[in-house]
C-alpha cells in the first residue's frame, strides 16, 4: 500500500521550485572548464601519462577497450586440482585497450590454504588455434609480470594488479576475435602448472 507524505504542501512546493530548473550557461561552461583543468593537473602529475600524451600529440584519439570478468577456479584447471588448494577461487578483471595495445590485470584470490604461495599469472593460448579452449592447455601468450613473493595471501586471500601490460597488436586481435580459446590462470608453488583458471568469455 502506498504511503502519503505527512507534509503534502512541501511536496507540492518542491515540485514547483524544481520544475524547469536549469543551470545558467555560464555555470555549465565554468564546470566544463574546471573539469578540463583538473584532468590536465592529474595528467601532469603522471610521467607515464605525459609521455603518452607527447607520443600522441596532434593525433585524433578514440578510446577503445573490452573488459572480461573471468571467474577463476581450481576446478577449471586441466586436470582439476585435487590437493590442498582444490577449493581455491578468484576473479580476474582483464581490460584490453585496443587503442594502445595494452592490457590491465586486476585479480582477487580467495579460499586458498593459509600456507599457499602465489608465484606467476598469465593469459594462455595460441593465436589462430583452439589449444586454449576449455579442457585444453596451451603455452603462455601474455605475462602479467607477477613474480614470486609479490602477493602475500592473508587468511587465504589476496589481490594484485598490473596495468598497461604491452601486447602485440596481432595477439590482441587474435584474443578478441576468439576469447573462448584463451584462458587466464594463476600458478602457485604447490601447483606450479596452474592453480586457478578461467576462460576469457
Q: What are the structural domains of the chain?
A: 10-55 (no CATH), 65-199 (2.60.40)
Measure the CA–CA gap between 104 and 107, rounded to whole angstroms: 10
Rounded Cα distance between 116 and 120, Å, is 13
The pLDDT tens digits along the chain (201 residues) read 444 555 555 556 555 555 556 677 777 777 777 776 666 666 666 677 667 767 777 776 565 789 999 999 999 999 999 999 999 999 999 999 998 999 999 999 999 999 999 999 999 999 988 899 999 999 999 999 999 989 999 999 999 999 999 999 999 999 999 999 999 999 999 999 999 999 998
Say what the pTM is.
0.69
Q: Tally helices (H) and strands (E) across the chain.
A: 4, 8
Residue 168 is predicted with a pLDDT of 96
pLDDT given for residue 201 in this prediction? 84
- Residue 167's alpha-carbon distances to 99, 146, 183, 185, in angstroms, are 11, 16, 15, 17
Which helix or strand (DSSP H or E) is residue 167 part of? Answer: none
Instruction: Find all residues with CB under 8 Å of 177, minimum gap 6, and list them.
Output: none
The confidence score (pLDDT) of residue 34 equals 74
Find out whether 141 and 123 touch, Cβ atoms under 8 Å. Answer: yes
- Alpha carbon of 9 to those of 19, 47, 175: distances in Å? 16, 56, 60
**Which pLDDT value is given to residue 1?**
47
pLDDT recorded at residue 165: 96
How far apart CA 192 and CA 120 sit, in angstroms, is 9
Looking at residue 24, its pLDDT comes to 74
Q: Which has the closest alpha carbon to 175: 107, 69, 96?
A: 96
- Within 10 angstroms of residue 23's Cβ, the number of other Cβ atoms is 10
What pLDDT does 178 receive? Answer: 95
Amino acid at each position: 500500500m502506498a504511503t502519503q507524505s505527512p507534509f503534502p504542501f512541501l511536496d507540492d512546493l518542491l515540485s514547483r521550485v524544481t520544475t524547469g530548473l536549469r543551470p545558467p550557461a555560464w555555470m555549465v561552461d565554468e564546470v566544463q572548464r574546471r573539469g578540463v583543468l583538473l584532468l590536465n593537473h592529474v595528467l601532469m602529475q603522471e610521467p607515464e601519462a605525459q609521455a603518452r600524451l607527447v607520443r600522441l600529440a596532434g593525433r585524433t584519439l578514440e578510446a577503445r577497450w573490452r573488459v572480461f570478468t573471468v571467474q577463476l577456479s581450481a576446478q577449471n584447471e586441466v586436470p582439476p586440482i585435487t590437493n590442498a588448494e582444490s577449493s581455491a577461487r578468484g576473479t580476474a578483471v582483464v581490460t584490453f585497450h585496443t587503442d594502445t595495445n595494452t592490457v590491465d590485470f586486476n585479480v582477487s584470490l580467495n579460499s586458498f590454504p593459509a600456507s599457499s604461495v602465489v608465484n606467476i599469472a598469465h593469459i594462455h593460448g595460441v593465436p589462430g588455434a583452439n589449444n586454449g579452449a576449455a579442457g585444453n592447455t596451451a603455452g603462455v601468450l601474455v605475462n602479467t609480470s607477477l613474480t614470486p613473493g609479490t602477493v602475500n595471501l592473508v587468511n587465504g586471500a589476496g589481490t594484485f594488479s598490473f596495468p598497461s601490460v604491452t601486447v602485440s597488436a596481432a595477439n590482441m586481435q587474435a584474443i578478441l576475435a576468439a576469447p573462448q580459446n584463451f584462458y587466464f590462470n594463476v600458478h602457485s608453488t604447490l601447483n606450479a602448472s596452474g592453480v586457478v583458471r578461467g576462460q576469457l568469455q
